[in-house]
């Protein structure tokens, strides 16, 4: 432990984040735009689960639209030129996307649990109106959780303007307490609910002999997607975010451990991983909506036919000219 000096490579963020943001922005917009288009085309036949998928896509689009401003921020060496208010709005959209995604994934998990495990009891009782009301509640609850974050200082002006994803060092102790409570309510509780629902679904599907094999495969694929999202995107972010805040609290007390720089870098990597959820969430669209895989197969078939059509037209032109 070193109480006098602490070397943390803050330049790592400016070099690491922008290229990933560009990839996520392009792929995320294309994938989510396509997913929303597929849902809106069948608006009149909207199903309960599709309402949650629609809100999941909207949460992703909301965050993706803020990425160009963050690209400019990190490309200019972490100099925020868009003002304090827009900095808070940008960070609020990130949190709204993150915890909104977790909330709607939890809703999808609970709905599938009820539809598979308690299908007789809930048949006909759950309607699209219920799913719309639940979606509004999710947006309200997530907004209430994220709102206190906007009251913390996000910018610090000197020769360069900063736009903190958490807060300035002055308020880091209070923010650490808020972050821990936020993690428990916004992440841990939904994660345990999702885990419990799909754990029970897997047990039921593999113990019932009359369950369709296709339904088993779909449920297992969906479970794997959720495991991927939580283990890659959500768990590392929350672990290293709180560890980094603890490291900053210690640094403010002039206490620095050898692992402080490693935790900072791991936190920046986890920020990249968590923004990947906007690109991975369309996988939920594919396996959550029965119509989308069929549309995707049709799209791939058309893409395969294009080279053949081009070859046929070329041969026809050659024969005509000869």
Which helix (H) or strand (E) covers residue 162, if one does? strand 161-163
Residue 227: pLDDT band (50, 70, 90) is: confident
DSSP 8-state code for residue 44: G
CATH C-level class of 12-308: mainly alpha
Q: What is the pLDDT of residues 21-62, one digit of tens each?
A: 899 999 989 988 888 887 777 666 667 888 898 899 899 998
Q: Quick one: average pLDDT of 311-320? A: 48
- For residue 127, report the phi and psi dihedrals to the nearest 5 degrees: -125, 170
Tell me if residue 205 falls in helix, strand or coil: helix
Q: Is 45 left (phi over 0), alpha (psi -120 to 50) or beta?
A: alpha
Dihedral over alpha carbons 86, 143, 264, 175 (to 10 degrees):
100
Q: Quick one: average pLDDT of 186-200? A: 92
The answer to whether residue 71 scores a pLDDT higher than 70 is yes
Q: Among the ranges 117-126, 128-137, 271-280, which has the highest mean pLDDT value?
A: 128-137
C-alpha 316/C-alpha 222 separation (Å) is 47
251: number of Cβ within 10 Å: 17
Percent of the chain at pLDDT > 90 equals: 33
Q: Are 220 and 202 in contact (CB under 8 A)?
A: yes
**pTM, rounded to two decimals:** 0.83
Residue 245, burial from CB neighbour count under 10 angstroms (0-12, 13-18, 19+): buried
Q: What is the pLDDT of residues 167-179, one digit of tens each?
A: 988 899 999 999 9
The answer to whether residue 2 scores a pLDDT higher than 50 is no
Distances (CA, A) of 152 to 10, 46, 275, 296, 306: 21, 40, 22, 44, 54
The answer to whether residue 188 scores a pLDDT higher than 70 is yes
Residue in 276, 115, 93, 109 with CA at minimum distance from that of residue 191: 109
Q: Are 52 and 31 in contact (CB under 8 A)?
A: no
The answer to whether residue 302 scores a pLDDT higher than 90 is no
The answer to whether residue 131 scores a pLDDT higher than 50 is yes
Residue boundaries of the structural domains of the chain: 12-308
């Amino acid at each position: 432990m070193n109480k006098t000096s602490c070397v943390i490579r803050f330049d790592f963020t400016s070099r690491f984040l922008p290229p990933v943001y560009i990839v996520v922005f392009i792929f995320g917009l294309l994938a989510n735009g396509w997913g929303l288009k597929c849902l809106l085309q069948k608006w009149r036949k909207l199903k309960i689960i599709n309402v949650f998928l629609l809100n999941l896509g909207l949460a992703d689009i909301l965050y993706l639209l803020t990425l160009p401003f963050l690209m400019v921020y990190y490309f200019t060496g972490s100099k925020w030129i868009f003002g304090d208010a827009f900095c808070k709005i940008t960070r609020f959209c990130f949190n709204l996307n993150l915890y909104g995604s977790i909330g709607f994934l939890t809703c999808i998990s609970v709905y599938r649990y009820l539809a598979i495990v308690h299908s007789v009891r809930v048949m006909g009782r759950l309607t699209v109106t219920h799913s719309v009301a639940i979606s509004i509640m999710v947006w309200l609850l997530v907004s209430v959780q994220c709102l206190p974050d906007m009251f913390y200082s996000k910018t610090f002006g000197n020769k360069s303007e900063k736009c903190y994803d958490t807060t300035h060092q002055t308020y880091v102790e209070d923010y650490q307490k808020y972050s821990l409570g936020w993690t428990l309510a916004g992440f841990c509780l939904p994660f345990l609910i999702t885990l419990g629902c799909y754990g029970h679904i897997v047990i039921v599907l593999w113990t019932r002999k009359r369950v369709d094999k296709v339904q088993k495969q779909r449920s297992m694929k969906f479970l794997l997607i959720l495991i991927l999202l939580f283990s890659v995107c959500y768990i590392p972010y929350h672990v290293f975010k709180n560890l980094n805040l603890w490291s900053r609290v210690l640094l403010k007390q002039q206490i620095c451990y050898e692992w402080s720089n490693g935790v900072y870098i791991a936190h920046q990597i986890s920020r990249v991983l968590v923004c990947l959820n906007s690109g991975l969430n369309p996988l939920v669209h594919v396996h959550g909506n029965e119509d989308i895989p069929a549309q995707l197969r049709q799209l791939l078939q058309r893409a395969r036919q294009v080279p053949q059509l081009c070859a046929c037209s070329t041969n026809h032109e050659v024969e005509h000219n000869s």
